[in-house]
Structure 1
């Protein structure tokens, strides 16, 4: 547990230094919880004191980050940049989007020109699954994409199937097509905006059907891309 805490908190400091504050905050909280659990497990008073001191230090830093993020959100100046290197792992949708999805999200708007092919539509389903699990007040998801000129019929059939599935969870799903759409962004009603250079399709194809990463995107190697994260306080009112 000590080594796990050290590894997680090391990553937290790296994210902190890179100004990836929302990710750093999640890691600080996770690492501190392991330290507190370790403190309960040991009877060594010296270790207990050490764990308590370290936990307090990281909690103080986490609180400062939280206040910084809230201040920049209020002023509309928050920005977080993530660079995903080719072949790297650990960048599944849960990691990228999860910390922004909670009970305050009632609406999600997706703009991605390449929700066309079978695997691209599956990526959309994965994001919707994550949102349904984490956003208990979610009532609507909308998508703008482009028509697949070679397979429009199946593209529409897949999206209609997703629409029917979401309706079973009392979530409406609307999709529309644009001939000029180029930018890729996902907007949540709580104000967070995530722009991904490759859209949702930033994963490499798995090397087989029975390899790690075939199902779990956290273990799937990625293509190189950049993720920009912003916050716009008026977004909820504009949607």
Structure 2
């Protein structure tokens, strides 16, 4: 491995671990745990390429410190889950970027995840339907085995044909990927909530519709939601050992 490659891995590890510490200090423990694990792996990969003994010792010391902290967080998170007291809050500020569905939901998706419930009254207009499609695509690509997605939303009274047509097409498309879309409508639904059958519950103030409109069809952020500006909203994360079904 070249010195440049090694210094690049070091820089990546430092960046990820710095983020882990920031999240840790903000008490966003589940997110920080993911970053600690990724950063530790990067440091371990870099360690394999280090020849100097004193530097190897320095790396091992750093790795041990981060591993100890990650273990403490894991124990703390598991205890809060056990007590039913886990609550984490993320505040997305106006015009913030870096909050694609992949980024936001990654800490709560695990290999045990097979079923998802989405309650959101506003999966009606074209951009909202695309949001839901992107959310489904994110689940298909994630390291989990989701085979059923439930959607409870309200009917678009002005143009129910477009909404029902789009969701019927999505249902058929998901089916080809081995995923069942269970669709239900409610005229009284108000709250927005996403539940995973591994116990995580994510409540976003604006539901899935927290992105701003791009400035144009050929402006940065049109395709990549990590680069899309957000509207201000609050995300609350809870954990329950008994995920209720609809």
After TM superposition, the score normalised by the length of structure 2 is 0.92
Q: C-alpha displacement at 1:186, in angstroms?
A: 0.2
Give deviations 1:31-53, integer Å, cap 9, x for gaps.
11121122222322222221211
> Where in structure 1 do 4 or more consecutive aligned residues deviate above 6 Å?
none
Q: Which of 18, 31, 43 is matched with 1:35 structurally?
A: 43
Change (3 A) 1:181 1:11: same
Q: Is the 8 A contact 1:98 1:130 kept in 2?
A: no
Q: Which of 99, 105, 123 is matched with 1:97 structurally?
A: 105
Deviates more, 1:38-47 or 1:105-114: 38-47
In structure 1, the partner of 2:221 is: 213
In structure 2, the partner of 1:21 is: 29
Q: C-alpha displacement at 1:136, in angstroms?
A: 4.4
Task: Give 1:112-191 correspondences, 5 Å limit.
Answer: 112-134=120-142, 136-191=144-199
Q: Is the 8 A contact 2:109 2:144 kept in 1?
A: no
SS of alignment partner, residue 41 of structure 1: coil
Aligned residues: 238
Q: C-alpha displacement at 1:111, in angstroms?
A: 0.5
Deviates more, 1:30-39 or 1:154-163: 30-39
SS of alignment partner, residue 148 of structure 1: coil
SS of alignment partner, residue 48 of structure 2: helix
Aligned: 1:74 with 2:82: yes
Change (3 A) 1:150 1:230: same
Alpha carbon RMSD of aligned pairs, Å?
A: 1.5
Deviates more, 1:54-63 or 1:4-13: 4-13
Give unmatched runs, 5+ long, in structure 2.
1-8
SS of alignment partner, residue 132 of structure 2: helix
Q: C-alpha displacement at 1:131, in angstroms?
A: 1.2
Aligned partners of 1:165, 1:20: CA distance in 2, in Å?
35
Q: C-alpha displacement at 1:2, in angstroms?
A: 2.1
Q: Is the 8 A contact 2:171 2:181 kept in 1?
A: yes
